[in-house]
Structure 1
Amino acid sequence: MSELVERVDERDQVVGVADRGEAIRRKWLHRVATVVCRDAEGRILVHRRPENVSRFPGQYNWLLGGAVNAGETYEDAAARELEEELGVCAPVRLAFKFLCRGVISPYWLGVHEAVIAEGVVPDQSEIAWHGWLPEAALREALQQWPFVPDCRKTFTKYIALPGRLPDGLAQTDLVIE
């Protein structure tokens, strides 16, 4: 089944619709939405991709997400991916977006944040393992574990972001059960 995405330009303006596979093969800009998941203590969800996936098998990531479908907003795509990959319905907040010159293809990346309870039910076809790491432990893991290359670049941008969700969130801060 074809996955349609919007082709966009260097300013993230829509220029057409294309099959996602073709957009990647031709290196056309399109949109990707991701979510940084934090728990009530501010820890970040980290996961390992299954060994049998076509892209980055067995590698770690601290972002959940995927392509923004044609006609979908970044926020809607981020919320959809959160539900598909973790079985969680939660509000997402756009933290920032940037033009990512990815290792497979260039794309506009919308990075969102969500605070969720620990009781997630990962889709095993997307997530082989998951755990919650404090930001300092994630910084160390990024140096030692095999992470998806584009998420390393994104982490550098994320930690420099003013107004991002901090470690040590209060129990009442945005937690969705």
Structure 2
Amino acid sequence: MSQKRFNSDLLDFLNNSPTAFHAVASLSQMLEAAGFTRLHEGERWQLEANQGYYVTRNDSSIIAFRHNAKSMLEQGIRLTGAHTDSPCLKVKPQPEIRRQGYLQIGVEVYGGVLFAPWFDRDLSLAGRVNYQTKQGELRACLIDMRDPVAIIPSLAIHLFRGVHENRSINPQQELMPILSQL
């Protein structure tokens, strides 16, 4: 594979993987296309030599491996690791907040988020939605709005007297995206 093709495929993967759930779904499809077989943690595995396998957990973690004909003692093991999650703002349960004429969404900070870059930029919404059908079945689906749906506005610079001092941001109060005006 050429470097240009590799870079293009990597960018496509990143653009189509806004959350860990999306990344694991994309990786599962890629592994299936490469001949890997999905295994389930609660089942007994019957592994075949030189076959690729993968396991997912909570649809947000994935482990893939190839079972070789030689034992690990003879051949050793090669392992590569990465993580699929990244710092983000996660939507809280019962997230609707109506305040001062605006519809906002309650979020919680996940990971080592730098707060300042979240202000004054278009934000979208992506992740896994869990819901109950009319028949009472629990289901989940992935969503990715792709287009901007919210913003976290900051105070205009001429109204913020301490602009050049260290600013302390309270994420519970100041990092609530505005979805719309009521």
Q: What TM-score bracket applies, with the shorter chain setting the length?
A: under 0.3
TM-score normalised by structure 2 residue count: 0.22
TM value normalised by structure 1: 0.22
RCO (CA 8 Å, sep 6+): is it higher in 1 or 2?
A: 1
